[in-house]
Structure 1
Amino acid sequence: MHNKSNVTIPIGNITVSLGREAVFNCFVNITGRYKVNKVAWVRAEDHTILSIGTKVVTHNSRIFVSHDNLYTWQMRIKQVKESDRGCYLCEVNTNAMGTQEACLEVNVPPDIFNEDTSGDLSASEGENATLWCKASGHPPPRITWKKENGEPIFIRTNLRTFSTVDTYNGTNLNFWKVDRSQMGTYLCIASNDVPPAVSKRLSLYVNFSPSIKVPNQLLGAPVQTDVQLECYVEAYPNTINYWVKNRSEMLLNGTKYLVREERVGYRISMWLVIKGFTAKDAGTYNCVSTNSLGKSEGTLRLYGKQIHS
């Protein structure tokens, strides 16, 4: 059969990112005195005619068609939308019909749904808690979790032990019987190899009543020396901390006492320096920590120590 009209080279499928331009080149070999309006671009899905010759007939201002006066017919779709995804036909309407099909894939970078995330979460220690995060995009994004400070994520394996991972994959980050060690800010990262990846910060707050550790409960101090007492507190939310002598007198910063504390996360270090220790300073000292969930205290006993020459 003598074919006077031919679409000679496959157009080839195209993948572009949202908002970019898609360019289809259709190579048509038409011999004889055929008019230019013999070439049409058609949307395959619903057979909508987009253009005849170089005239765009569809109501879409983003579509442009051109002809190089030789063999190439070009259709450009500017600022590609997801709705442009699908297949297109280059049709040559002559005695010898020729058709080529090319499909357009539109990649969409990830976007996290703010309304479909857990947001920051507060839970009591021992409760179950879940941070979750969902995202759109094409291809469908992967969700990865990381700790914002770069520390590993603690995953409880049983009542007493945890495993650690640098990243955790999945929409939901589940905390079974949440522990204070799991408190912190987590990054939900959505990626699908279409830049840019996006992330959202979600904080997990674990509430528990104060607990106190006293490293040295019995201290001997030589007369006229400065003595430092220390207590270590774990608690969340924030605590009010103070020192008491002999169960009555609250000790304040001044010429006799230096009271100081330092907080890192849910850990608080408390120090009391007694200046110029004398026999009157011997006795019982308590470090006290209180928050909305409870109160705890540690006990230290201080006695005078003779220095033998």
Structure 2
Amino acid sequence: MDNRIYFVLVALCAALVKAQDPEIVDEIWPEVQQVGRTGRINCTVTNKQTSVVMWEHVDTGEQISRDTDIEMQLNPMIGGLRKYEVQKRSSGDRETFMLIIRRLVETDAGTYKCTIRITAVAYDQWPTKLGKITVQVPPTIRPGETTAVLQIDQGQNSSLICAASGIPSPNITWTKSDGGFLPVGVAQYRSHILPMTNVTVADMGVYRCVADNNIKPPAEHLAQVLIFHAPATRVVQNSVGQAQNRRFDGKLECIVKGHPEPTVTFERLINQGRAPLNDDDKYEINKQTTDNQNLKAGEQWYTLKVKNVQANDFTDYYCIATNVNGRHESTITLFETMECQGPNCPSLPSARASLLRLSALAFIPTILLLLRHIVLAR
């Protein structure tokens, strides 16, 4: 036989044998699912014959299955089904082995290998293909690495840090809760670090960082920024009117800001001097605990109630705030009016009520006359 013919026949035989060997015929498409859902990846083989199709988690080195049998020792029931399952579908000489992983957790992510184990063939000659499962995880804030409270002197530099994790990695956006501009001069700033440069009292307030990776829900964190500064006071009204000798009260209101939080006292002008005021039968000092829309960041609302206003109560009153950085005060004048002032004044009878009373009085003579006739008739 011609040598050329011999080699052609050998090559044809080898090709025929090779064509009958098992092989993986399709790519294993990557799977992307959110945490808690079900992941599925397919491995399609031809000419399987007596060989075995195996799934392995490459990142952990765990052998998952042999054909449709699960090899893992831990395969818990979830909603009536096992966490791991392999389903087989056949079409001619093609068989697809679908690996199913239920209730995905972050550790289920990674690379998976489909291998055809062929008897009497060396291990490194077994057909293999790789697939990938990505487990998407909603963002979370890492508290120990995230700024909760920042205290800083005026003119100093620092930063706020918002550390978050998630898959894919979340974008982090900073805003100020009152809608104002950030120290960097914009209303929004995208970074896990917000620079605080040459800070002023205007930079005080609550800052919000939001971590979002399009996997709901986004994560949110609030950080408080406190700037050390001397107190400042302002009044709601610099003069308050009230009528005297009618058991009416006068309410004087003062708004205070400072850090550390100032000590607030009240005084009044008397005999060309000033006298301190305390809670007693005549005066009542309160710090408002309810949120008020008129308050700015770091402000506190104080009230002084002057009870049962008399003639000698009409004078100037002083709201004084003091902390380690300084002192500030504002003046409120209480003056006399003819009628009661404020929301707690007694209401006057309405015109309709007065008209009804007059109408009722008009019927009294008629009623008396009818009663007289009744008595005489008896």
Provide TM-score, normalisation by structure 1.
0.70
Tell me the equivalent position of 1:290.
322
1:248 match: secondary structure = strand
**DSSP 3-state at the match of 1:155:** coil
State the one-letter code of the partner of 2:33. V
Q: Aligned ranges for residues 230-269 of structure 1 at < 5 Å?
A: 233-236=256-259, 237-245=261-269, 246-250=272-276, 264=295, 265-266=298-299, 268=301
Letter in 2 for 1:249: A
Cα 1:153/1:172, change in 2 over 3 Å = farther
- The aligned counterpart of 1:54 is 68
Count residues in correspondence: 291
1:154 aligns with 2:181: yes
Shift of residue 130, structure 1, vs aligned partner:
2.8
Q: Conserved in 1, the CA contact under 8 Å of 2:173 and 2:190?
A: yes
Deviation of 1:201 after TM superposition, in Å, equals: 2.3
Distance in 1 of aligned mates of 2:284 and 2:52: 94
1:211 matched residue in structure 2: 232
Contact 1:25-1:72 within 8 A present in 2 as well: yes
Tell me if the contact between 2:140 and 2:211 (Cα under 8 Å) persists in the aligned partners.
yes
Structure 1 equivalent of residue 165 of structure 2: 136
Q: Distance in 2 between matches of 1:216 and 1:81?
A: 59
Equivalents in 2 of 1:194, 1:302: separation in Å? 59
Kindly state the Cα deviation for residue 242 of structure 1 after the two structures are TM-superposed: 0.9
Q: Which has the higher contact order (CA 8 A, sep 6+)?
A: 1
Alignment partners' CA distance in 2, 1:230 and 1:240: 12
Cα deviations by residue, 1:184-222 (Å, 9 ceiling, x for unpaired): 2222222222333211222223342223458999x9x9x
C-alpha separation in 1, matches of 2:216 and 2:318: 57
Contact 1:91 1:100 in 2 (8 A): no
Aligned equivalent of 2:34, options 11, 17, 34: 17
CA 268–291 in structure 1, closer or farther in 2 if over 3 Å, else same: farther
Counterpart contact for 1:42–1:91, Cα < 8 Å: no
Segment drifting more, 250-259 vs 59-68: 250-259
Contact persistence 2:155–2:200 (CA under 8 A): yes
Q: CA deviation at 1:52?
A: 2.3
Q: Distance in 1 between matches of 2:52 and 2:236?
A: 92
CA distance change for structure 1 residues 269 and 178 in 2, over 3 Å: closer, same or farther? farther
The corresponding residue for 1:170 is 191
Check if 1:122 corresponds to 2:148.
no
Structure 1 residues 132 and 153, CA, compared in 2 at 3 Å: closer, same or farther? farther
- Show the counterpart of 1:8: 25
Which segment drifts farther, 93-102 or 53-62? 93-102
User: CA 1:197 to 1:90, structure 2 compared with 1: closer, same or farther past 3 Å?
Assistant: farther
> Counterparts in 2 of 1:270-281, with a 5 A limit?
none
- RMSD of Structure 2 on Structure 1 (CA): 4.3
Q: Structure 1: which 5+ runs fail to align? A: 158-162, 305-309
Kept after mapping to 2: 8 A contact 1:243/1:272: no
Cα–Cα, structure 1 residues 257 and 41, in superposed 2: closer, same or farther, change >3 Å? closer
In 1, distance between residues paired with 2:42 and 2:331? 84
Q: Distance in 1 between matches of 2:255 and 2:275?
A: 21
**Structure 2 CA distance for aligned equivalents of residues 259 and 56 of structure 1:** 75
User: Which of 41, 44, 47 is residue 55 of structure 2 equivalent to?
Assistant: 41
Cα pair 1:124 1:206 within 8 Å, conserved: yes
The 2-side partners of 1:103 and 1:258 are apart by 71
More helix by share: 2
Deviations 1:48-83 (A, max 9, x none): 643322233354535332324552212223334335
Q: 2:258 is matched by which residue type in structure 1?
A: A
Structure 1 residue 281: deviation in Å? 5.4
Whether the aligned pair in 1 keeps the contact of 2:176 and 2:182 (CA below 8 Å) is: no
- Structure 1 98/175 Cα, relative in aligned 2: closer, same or farther at 3 Å? closer
Describe the shift of the 1:200–1:211 C-alpha distance in structure 2 as closer, same or farther (beyond 3 A).
Answer: closer
Q: For the pair shown, which has the larger CA radius of gyration, 1 or 2?
A: 2
**Aligned sequence identity (%):** 24
